[in-house]
């Protein structure tokens, strides 16, 4: 950038009303009575949403390619098209009781960035791309973050194609039916850097009254199945000292899950969300309890330390009570710290624009997690009302929607002007 263009570019702002109008228009496809959106991946409604967004991209002069898992890449050429694009994106599929903003905001913010660059005749050095990734929500088809996962080679295209919904329809059949199996090989598409704007889906920004969350990374997660084995016996005739009550022992361990998360703050999370008591009868001492443990933290080392603590506690508890305790790891998602340069670009843009901001971590998965394996990546959070999402009442303020998009614009410009 030379000195003549620099002040002009720093003064550029997105058109918040236009972005809001596009969000509301997309939200009509699959609109629910309670003001939310139900647009499950690869349904007829998903096709309509995809077609609408791609139509907007073409109106903005972008070229569109689709890959074999249905990820769409909408491209605005740069001065040097040999450079890998500065990309942004998210998803437009929703939960069955989804809202208007989760995912959709990240995609349409990207479209608004391009519309703004067009309005002001700004040419970037590197191309700009906006992507939407197939089946991020994982509601109709598992695994979640499917399109970005195939793209990042976290699992194969065949694995994703074979996934079926509850009616037995496969991803491949449904992609073909809606016309979204493109020619491009997933992952065969360079990315210079990647940004994703998203509603926070938690209450921290609202609680701190901040407009922008500068996301430093996504929490690592470990999921366990835990089983405590005791002995069923009659609740009346069996004296307290002679019982092997699996539930009493299990609840001690459950309390420790929460205590462990609290010890490993500020980002430690510990949740027992699923409990099965056997035989689940009022007058029988529980003989077996199975429950889930979900532990999260900001680095893999911290998650591993929590893992070691809970296993040691369980071993001691088992020795003390004489009841076998089994802890089985069933899933592991590594922590994904974002790239320092992208985090800095977001923070710098938020500061320059005068928006209140704070560092944030994401407790939920996002497509950006997979992109971070391929290229420098970062995320921008804005508050959502009461921290609620995956719910029809999900809401965000227009001024926050606009602010997040302005941060995206300037973070992307920083990367795309002098890549």
Q: Which residue is nearest to Zn ion (CB)?
A: 103
CA–CA separation, 4 and 143 (whole Å): 49
**Cβ 281 to Zn ion shortest distance, Å:** 41
Q: Where do the H-state alpha helices sit in 60-168? A: 104-119, 146-151, 157-162
- In this structure, what are the phi and psi dihedrals at residue 258, rounded to the nearest 5 degrees? -70, -45
Specify whether the CB–CB gap between 198 and 206 falls below 8 A: no
**Cβ 366 to Zn ion shortest distance, Å:** 6
Nearer to Zn ion by Cβ, of 285 and 361: the residue is: 361
Specify whether the CB–CB gap between 381 and 360 falls below 8 A: yes
Provide the total of helices (H) and of strands (E) in the chain, helices listed first. Answer: 13, 16
CA–CA separation, 83 and 73 (whole Å): 16
Q: Where do the H-state alpha helices sit in 170-235? A: 171-177, 204-208
DSSP string, 319-383: HHH---EEEEEEEEE--EEPPHHHHHHHHHHHHHTT--EEEEEESS--HHHHHTTTS-EEEEEE-
Nearer to Zn ion by Cβ, of 132 and 180: the residue is: 132
**Cβ 101 to Zn ion shortest distance, Å:** 9
Kindly state the helix (H) or strand (E) to which residue 221 belongs, with its residue range.
strand 220-229
Nearer to Zn ion by Cβ, of 90 and 124: the residue is: 90
Q: Which residues bind Zn ion (CB under 5 A)?
A: 102-103
Nearer to Zn ion by Cβ, of 56 and 132: the residue is: 132
**Cβ 198 to Zn ion shortest distance, Å:** 6
**Cβ 318 to Zn ion shortest distance, Å:** 40
**Cβ 118 to Zn ion shortest distance, Å:** 27
CA–CA separation, 43 and 343 (whole Å): 35
Nearer to Zn ion by Cβ, of 102 and 395: the residue is: 102
Nearer to Zn ion by Cβ, of 133 and 355: the residue is: 133
**Cβ 265 to Zn ion shortest distance, Å:** 26
Instruction: Say which residue the tokens 């493109």 belong to.
Output: 182
**Cβ 102 to Zn ion shortest distance, Å:** 4
**Cβ 93 to Zn ion shortest distance, Å:** 9
Nearer to Zn ion by Cβ, of 85 and 103: the residue is: 103
Cβ neighbours, 10 Å, residue 412: 27
Residues 6+ apart with CB under 8 A from 316: none
Specify whether the CB–CB gap between 85 and 146 falls below 8 A: no
Residues 6+ apart with CB under 8 A from 14: 109, 112, 113, 115, 116, 402, 405, 406, 409
Nearer to Zn ion by Cβ, of 231 and 364: the residue is: 364
Nearer to Zn ion by Cβ, of 102 and 200: the residue is: 102
CA–CA separation, 45 and 372 (whole Å): 30
């Amino acid at each position: 950038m030379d000195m003549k263009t620099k002040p002009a570019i720093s003064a550029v702002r997105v058109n918040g009303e236009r972005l809001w109008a596009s969000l509301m228009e997309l939200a009509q496809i699959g609109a629910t009575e309670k003001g939310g959106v139900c647009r499950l991946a690869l349904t007829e409604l998903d096709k309509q949403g995809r077609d609408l967004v791609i139509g907007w991209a073409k109106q903005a002069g972008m070229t569109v390619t689709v890959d074999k898992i249905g990820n769409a890449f909408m491209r605005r050429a740069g001065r040097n098209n040999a450079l890998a694009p500065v990309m942004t994106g998210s998803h437009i599929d929703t939960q069955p009781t989804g809202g208007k903003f989760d995912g959709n905001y990240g995609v349409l913010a990207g479209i608004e960035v391009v519309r703004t660059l067009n309005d002001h005749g700004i040419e970037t050095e590197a191309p700009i791309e906006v992507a939407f990734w197939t089946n991020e929500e994982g509601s109709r088809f598992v695994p979640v973050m499917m399109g970005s996962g195939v793209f990042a080679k976290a699992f194969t295209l065949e694995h994703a194609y074979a996934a079926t919904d509850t009616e037995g329809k496969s991803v491949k059949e449904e992609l073909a039916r809606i016309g979204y199996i493109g020619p491009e090989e997933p992952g065969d598409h360079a990315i210079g850097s990647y940004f994703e704007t998203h509603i926070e889906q938690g209450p921290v920004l609202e609680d701190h009254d901040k407009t922008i969350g500068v996301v430093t990374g996504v929490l690592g997660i470990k999921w366990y199945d835990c089983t405590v084995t005791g002995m069923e016996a009659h609740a009346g005739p069996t004296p307290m000292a002679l019982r092997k009550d699996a539930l009493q022992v299990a609840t001690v361990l459950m309390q420790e899950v929460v205590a462990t998360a609290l010890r490993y703050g500020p980002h430690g999370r510990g949740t027992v969300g699923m409990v099965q008591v056997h035989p689940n009868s009022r007058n029988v001492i529980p003989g077996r309890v199975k429950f889930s443990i979900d532990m999260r933290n900001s680095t893999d080392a911290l998650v591993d330390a929590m893992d070691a603590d809970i296993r040691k506690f369980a071993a001691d508890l088992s020795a003390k009570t004489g009841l076998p305790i089994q802890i089985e790891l069933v899933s592991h998602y590594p922590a994904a710290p974002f790239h320092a340069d992208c985090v800095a670009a977001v923070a710098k843009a938020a500061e320059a624009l005068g928006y209140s901001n704070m560092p944030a971590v994401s407790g939920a998965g996002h497509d950006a997690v997979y992109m971070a394996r391929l290229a420098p990546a970062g995320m921008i959070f804005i508050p959502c009302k009461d921290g609620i999402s995956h719910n029809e009442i999900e809401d965000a303020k227009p001024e926050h929607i606009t602010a997040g998009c302005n941060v995206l614009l300037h973070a992307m410009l920083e990367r795309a002007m002098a890549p």
